[in-house]
Each structure stands twice: as structure tokens, then as C-alpha cells.
Amino acid sequence: MISNKILLTSSGSYLPNNIYSNDALSEFIDTSDEWISKRSGIKNRHFVSKNETTSDLALYAALKAIENSTLDKDDINLIIVATTTPDNTFPSTATMVQKKLDIKGAAFDIQAVCAGFVFALSVAKSLMKDNNYKNCLVIGADSMSKLLDWKDRSTAVLFGDGAGAVILENKENIDNKLDDWGILSNVIHSDGEYYDLLKTNGGVSTDQKIGFIEMAGKEIFKHAVEKLSLSFQEALKLSYKNIKQIDWLIPHQANQRILLAVADRLKIDPVKVISTVMHHGNTSAASIPLALDYAINNNKVINGNLIGFQAIGGGLSWGASVVRYGKP
């Protein structure tokens, strides 16, 4: 019996045109470039314009991913959007993207905050194998500026807006030629004990407001380093790989200090860690596909590379993936 493999074959990304440097933020927040850079490594972030929605960001990233593939948009029959900042409470942002692309199939959102893209990859792989969806758009898109309290410099300086997308293709593994290609492993976890460490202070059923981000920064840092490292080691074990075989580690782009601490914990050369946090800050579910697309466009990630993804977000929710990018 011929099994199927889920290949990750293309990427695309989009960042809004409005760029805010640390110096620009210091004009209306009690902060400075030195303060932000030292604590996070962030230099710039992009914010949506007044009439720009999360589905707009997702659409632009999706169109680039399709353009960079060998597929037509009508070949896509599954869309999963990881987002915390939907256009509307309902329907899903994914169905709006589907409408704008004018294609048919299934479309829905996943909400795991900054870990959303890894969760979406896991769900997409399972659905494609069990229900025979042929080609899937997995999109991470967030307008985090909509959730920022500009009176709270500890969070307001960290986040930005953007979107990244990948295309997954369902291929028959004839003669086992695809055994070592595509999504090799996914690991996802959540622990509600830490619900209050990273959350908004409002919600539809709480007070009919979206709320602002609240974060216990020191606690999040500690959990991030531990849980990102352990989950990636778990993903490596499931894929029968070791850290020395990884060509590139693409973490959730939350904080440069976290990226370096995880690299040290995993004993991977920091040169192999893709970092884009300086350019766009924490874009939540968008940060991994944004960083992947950056790495591909800059000739770092190439066809056949073994890549690791890892992310942690509110919930707390976290996970990791090991993927052989491209196709033979």
C-alpha cells in the first residue's frame, strides 16, 4: 500500500508598509532604542494601516506563496489560518481569505497565539492524510498592534503586524522516495495552569471587548527557553533525527535573548538559527513563516534542507516541528 507524504514546497510573506522604529515609539512611549534593543533585539516593527485587516495580510502572503509554487490558486482545497486577531469574531478569517481568492474547499482558523503556526501545521498534516486534501495553504497572520496598550511599555514595544504562508502538497510516496521529505514530526502541548502569564484583559464573553495584552515577562522567558528546547528535542526524537542534522532552526521570533538561550540549550550553532526579530518584532503566528520566507529569499534555506520550527504562546501553548523543505 502506497502511503502519502505532506510536503512543504513554497512560502510567501507580507509586512505592512508602516514601519515604526524604536526611536519613533520613544516619541509617544517612555522608552528608548537602547532600552528596547537590549531587552529584545527589536529595532523595527510594521503596523497595519487604518483600513488594513488581518485577512488582507493573509491574502497577500498567500498570493506570494502561490506565485512561488508550481500550483494555481484553484489547486488549493484547504486553508488554515492561525490568528489571534481575526477580522470579525465570526466567521473565520480563513473563509474571508477563501472568498478573496475565489476558491472552493474547506477553510477555518486556529487560535494558539504565537504557537498558532506550529499547531496549524500539525492539524493540516493530519487532515491531509486522513481526508485526502491535495494542497493546503497554512497561513500565520496577526495584527497585534490592535491589542497593544500604549501605556504599557513592557509589551507595546515588542509586537508587530504581518503574515506568512506556506503551501503543503499531498504526494504519494511511490517506492518510498519521499520517506525523508516533508513534515517529519509535529509536537504540540498546552498547559492551562499558566493561562494568566500571557493573555488579554478582555474578551467577547467576558466584557464584550478585545482587551489589551498582559504578560509576565520574566516568567514567560523562563518557560519559553525550557519548553521550546524540550519540545524540539521531542520532535527530533519522533523524526529519528539529531540536532547535528538540522540545517536551520527557525524559532518563533519573540525575543533575541530567547533565541540565543534556546540555541545554547540545544547545543546548536547560533549561525544556524534564523533571526528576523530585529526587523519586525513579535508578529505572533506570522513570525515563523515570515522568517522561513526571509530565509528562502536570502538563499539560506534551500531545497532539501532539514528545518526545525518551534514556538510558544499564550495558554501556555507550545510546540515544534521537523520538516524537510521542498521536494526531490
Amino acid at 277: V
Choosing from 114, 135, 136, 223, the catalytic residue is 114
Domains: count for the chain:
2
Are 205 and 109 within one domain?
Answer: no
Q: How far is CA 61 from the centre of its chain?
A: 12
Are 144 and 186 within one domain?
Answer: no
Whether residue 222 contacts residue 312, with contact meaning beta carbons closer than 8 Å, is answered with no
Are 205 and 310 within one domain?
Answer: yes
Helix boundaries (H) for the chain = 22-25, 33-40, 54-67, 93-101, 116-131, 153-156, 204-207, 217-238, 256-266, 277-280, 287-297
Burial tier of 33 (Cβ tally within 10 Å: 0-12, 13-18, 19+): middle
pLDDT, residue 1, reads 60
Q: 176, 197, 224: which is the final residue of a domain?
A: 176
pLDDT, residue 188, reads 98
Are 197 and 162 within one domain?
Answer: no
> Tens digits of per-residue pLDDT, 129-161?
988 899 999 999 999 999 999 999 999 999 999
Measured distance CA(292)–CA(298) in Å, rounded: 10
Whether residue 11 contacts residue 293, with contact meaning beta carbons closer than 8 Å, is answered with yes
Q: What is the pTM of this model?
A: 0.98
- The cell for 322 is 521537523
Are 164 and 205 within one domain?
Answer: no
> Tens digits of per-residue pLDDT, 224-277?
999 999 999 999 999 999 999 999 999 999 999 999 999 999 999 999 999 999
Are 193 and 157 within one domain?
Answer: no
Are 130 and 49 within one domain?
Answer: yes
Measured distance CA(78)–CA(319) in Å, rounded: 22
- φ, ψ dihedrals at 16, nearest 5°: -60, 160
Choosing from 22, 68, 135, 282, the catalytic residue is 282
Measured distance CA(328)–CA(319) in Å, rounded: 27
pLDDT, residue 132, reads 83
- Is residue 223 annotated as a catalytic residue, yes or no? no
- Is residue 280 annotated as a catalytic residue, yes or no? no
* SS3 label, residue 184: strand
Are 153 and 263 within one domain?
Answer: no
Domain that includes residue 276, residue range: 182-324
Q: With a cut of 50, which residues of the chain have pLDDT below it?
A: none
Are 137 and 16 within one domain?
Answer: yes
Q: 160, 176, 192: which is the final residue of a domain?
A: 176
Are 107 and 199 within one domain?
Answer: no
Q: 133, 153, 176: which is the final residue of a domain?
A: 176
Rg (alpha carbons) of the chain, rounded to whole number? 19
Choosing from 46, 223, 252, 279, the catalytic residue is 252
- Is residue 282 annotated as a catalytic residue, yes or no? yes
235: domain CATH number?
Answer: 3.40.47.10
Are 25 and 148 within one domain?
Answer: yes
Are 130 and 234 within one domain?
Answer: no
